[in-house]
Structure 1
Amino acid sequence: MAAPDSSTIQTPLIQTQTPPLRQEDVEVDDTQLSKSLDRLETFLRFFGFCQYSFLSFSLSWICFLLLGVALPILIIQLTYCSNCEKYEIESFELEILISQSLVAVISLICVSHNLRKYGVRKFLFVDRQHGHLIQFRREYLQKIHGFFKLLGVWIIPCFLLKAARQVVHIVYVHHSWWQSVGIIVVLLVSWTYSTIIYLSGSLLFHLVCNLQVIHFENYGRLLERDLDVSLYIEEHVRLKHHLSKISHRFRIFLLLEFLIVTATQVMALLETTGNYGIINFINGGDFAVASIVELVGIVICLNAAAKITHRAQGLGSVASRWHASVTCSSNSVTQMGINSNGGSVEAANSSTSIPTSYSESDLESVEYVPMATNTQLASYMTMYHKRQAFVTYLQSNPGGVTIFGWTIDRVLINTIFFVEMSLVLFVLGKTITWTTK
């Protein structure tokens, strides 16, 4: 059976629970969300992600090649001091530039491809057809604002660290004051441009995942209501289908970024431990800056993927609690006069109570106690089996963001950590040795 298209999946579960909104509030929220999306699209267009035409495609890559690659290479070649190896190592500068450009290129290619194919709204699942715009627009606004806030939180400290390194480097490598200022400005602009492109790709993945977290949290709250099980299953199929789309769109991005960042860290270890000169903040500080920026991007991606995977896998426990609560609810049992063994509550109580002699009036009143019918019993057991089947379905289909079948959860993150640690220790063991006389 073919996978259901999200454009054709109905969402009665969400629609039935949408509270009535005033027309004024709807229009205001629509306007604010549209402005936020336009602001986000303008930002992405400025940094070359929106390659909707051949002209925008050409301008985007020309700007990146000139500003992100050619200009810093030219500065490195023209200002290199062959007699200042204590403060300047050309191979370090070029290798750092290569790794910085590669992660930015991967981000630019993957994000621009998805935006060109789907557009901003459909890419973020915030259109009316995919994202239930009426109910969740305010949560969408918070998450979109969080995109810019998180970008500023990470880019500003890294920029200050990079600027401090460049200033210290220029102080020790003597140039004229106007040449020094020009070098600092050009290198900082180039670095900021490439770094924002790289972090924007990671933050867009983070934003897409957080927008879906809204739906999973709402789904967990809806499970506490006694609705038709078929509606729950239909909504979960839709959410799981969106997760598979997110995984498909970002799997190449995540895999390549992880491989490039790993290779960069290994290269930094080999260069710093295998160099016979003095390594200090002046000539090797860019390794620290580049490592921090690249690891921040990877951590942002892993955090977002693990968060939404945790929400998806946690639905099984929420559904189990809901199923147990409904099954063991005394109100629902006594209303139907049926216990969990299929008998009446009164019959169950009489089997454990002390024998009592009734008067004639008592016996007449007993005749009016409602007894469980076969229809009631069948209905109760049918609902029980439906809930049990639903819980089994959720536990068998946990969902989550995947990379070619590998679910990004805490287990995978722990595996990545130990693989990286083993790799670091292996490189250090091959490059650092102690000798005794």
Structure 2
Amino acid sequence: MNSSKPNNTSIDIEPSNRRVSFAENNPNEELPSHQLQPLNNTVPLLLQPSYARSKSMIFDELRNFRISLKWCALDHSSCVGKLISYVTFIFFTILVPLLTSIFVEIPSSSPEDDPFSFNKLVQLPESGLAVISFFTISSFFRRYGLRQLLFLDALQEDTNYVRRGYARELEKAFRYLTYIILPSFLVELVHKIIFFSAVKISGPNITPGFPLNSIVFVLVLVCWVYRTGVFLLVCVLFRLTCELQKLRFEGVHKLFEGCGSEAGVIFKEHVRIRRQLWVTSHRYRFFIIGCVVTITVSQLGALLLVLASNSHKTFFNSGDIVICSAVQLSGFFMCILGAARITHRAQGIVAIATRWHMLVTTASAESEHCKSQVSEGLASDTDSDDSSNIHVSVIPPQLSSFQTRQTLITYLQHNHGGITVYGYSLDRGLLHTLFAFEFSLVLWILSKVVVLSK
């Protein structure tokens, strides 16, 4: 026997980087210089191995969320933060709107129409949406935390494509919030300047004057920013969750592009996505239903009040309704369109999987056809004694692969739902149903207003 040097090859698995490296156990061999260097700080956080931690660092992709939570007094990371959060919520959601409705009134000498019937109507849905959003966020932070709410801890099982895309979505999240709040705030600012220049503060032991009007003016503006920001923040969180699942479905679509993809890998990935879609639906179902009911009642009530009122409609007495409706519908459509988009992706995966199954089956059939032609050519060149030993048969692994793919198609056909609310999928069909329902209510209100006017 030839003496051979023992094999000293070892497998070094580094759990923190989730990377496998092969190296010879040579004590005299030095490691390359690039392995001794620390991880580049310019790499995005979601692409670094440390993203699987349970706590957020000071400088990461969640800094905008934490800054916004602190400015909106929604930081529940400590007992003091919770106390400040609840006190701020009660003050700006209940006390300020209530005191404004009671003590602010228009002078009798003012030529403007009374705007307070419209103003009181606007206060109810704005405070209602703020209450729903605040308790939704409070329950999220009490049960999950921000990282688990955004599924950052589950990104360790995703590809670089999903992590890079999600990092970009985190950076763009607050742009949508700015696009809605900033124009609405400018219009609200102009309206409140006109509004408080024509009203007075009246009450027991209250001396009306410019300083008091200025204080109430600032409080009303901060109250509007707080209630609007809390509502839109939950909408942004929901949209971010939908965008993550959208990126994961795009990753599944990439698995269907090649003929070498395994059905078992696709099945496991789809089961993981389905699990997170179910969790997302369960977390936001109360918020979605509450928003649908509140916005529907608000819009129809505003329509009925505006049509039934005989006063002249101006920006002074109707500006609050316009701003409130714009913010409500913008946040609502941000949620509904995000849910409908991800549900459409989930339902479309069946067609993609069927096409992939057809391509793989056709490629396998063509491969078998070529093998049979080669076998027949070899059989014609051999003697008659050896030709009886040549035969063509179906390879069992290929037949098993066909059955596995067929089973995967059947599974996808029965599990193609996306975001659901108590079993009802938030897809384009539901959007059409909601539009038909709302349009029917609008026509009913118009008919009642026409009858009453006669």
Secondary structure at the aligned position of 1:418 is classed as helix
Q: 2:432 aligns with which of 400, 414, 428?
A: 414
Secondary structure at the aligned position of 2:226 is classed as helix
Q: 1:266 aligns with which of 258, 275, 300?
A: 300
Distance 1:369 1:338 in 2: 20
Distance 1:45 1:365 in 2: 87
Where does residue 380 of structure 1 map in the other structure? 398
The Cα of 1:111 is off from its aligned counterpart by 1.8
Provide, for residues 268-325 of structure 1, a one-character-per-residue CA deviation record: whole Å limited to 9, x for no partner: 1122122232232211211111111111111000011011111111111111111111
Residue 370 to residue 265, structure 1, CA distance change in 2 (3 Å): farther
TM-score (norm 1): 0.82
Provide, for residues 117-166 of structure 1, a one-character-per-residue CA deviation record: whole Å limited to 9, x for no partner: 01111111111566638664322221111111110011111112212222
After superposition, where does 1:136-285 map in structure 2 within 5 Å?
Answer: 136-173=162-199, 178=211, 180-225=213-258, 226-285=260-319
Native 8 Å contact 2:155 2:163 kept in 1: no
Secondary structure at the aligned position of 1:24 is classed as coil
Residue 324 to residue 162, structure 1, CA distance change in 2 (3 Å): same
Where does residue 5 of structure 1 map in the other structure? none
Letter in 1 for 2:143: K
Letter in 1 for 2:81: S
Secondary structure at the aligned position of 2:106 is classed as coil
Distance 1:31 1:130 in 2: 9
Where does residue 328 of structure 2 map in the other structure? 294
Provide, for residues 183-223 of structure 1, a one-character-per-residue CA deviation record: whole Å limited to 9, x for no partner: 43332221111101111111110111111211111111012
Determine which structure has the larger helix proportion and give its number: 1
Alignment partner of 1:327 is 2:353? no
The Cα of 1:43 is off from its aligned counterpart by 1.9
Distance 1:101 1:85 in 2: 30
Letter in 1 for 2:66: E
Where does residue 393 of structure 1 map in the other structure? 411
Secondary structure at the aligned position of 2:128 is classed as helix
Where does residue 12 of structure 2 map in the other structure? none
Residue 268 to residue 392, structure 1, CA distance change in 2 (3 Å): same
- Bigger shift: 125-134 or 389-398? 125-134
Distance 2:224 2:107 in 1: 24
The Cα of 1:99 is off from its aligned counterpart by 1.1
Native 8 Å contact 2:93 2:131 kept in 1: no
Letter in 2 for 1:138: R
Distance 2:373 2:399 in 1: 15
User: Higher relative CO (CA 8 A, sep ≥ 6), structure 1 or 2?
Assistant: 1
Where does residue 67 of structure 1 map in the other structure? 92
Letter in 2 for 1:206: R
Where does residue 30 of structure 1 map in the other structure? 45
Residue 334 to residue 62, structure 1, CA distance change in 2 (3 Å): same
Native 8 Å contact 2:191 2:319 kept in 1: yes
Secondary structure at the aligned position of 1:28 is classed as coil
Distance 1:244 1:85 in 2: 56
Residue 374 to residue 97, structure 1, CA distance change in 2 (3 Å): same
Where does residue 74 of structure 2 map in the other structure? 49
Native 8 Å contact 1:102 1:260 kept in 2: yes
TM-score (norm 2): 0.79
The Cα of 1:63 is off from its aligned counterpart by 0.5
Residue 316 to residue 126, structure 1, CA distance change in 2 (3 Å): same
Distance 1:240 1:169 in 2: 50
The Cα of 1:82 is off from its aligned counterpart by 5.0
Distance 2:77 2:122 in 1: 31
Distance 1:210 1:334 in 2: 39
Native 8 Å contact 1:126 1:133 kept in 2: no
Letter in 1 for 2:93: G
Distance 1:31 1:435 in 2: 61
Letter in 1 for 2:317: N
Where does residue 54 of structure 2 map in the other structure? none
Distance 1:365 1:29 in 2: 67
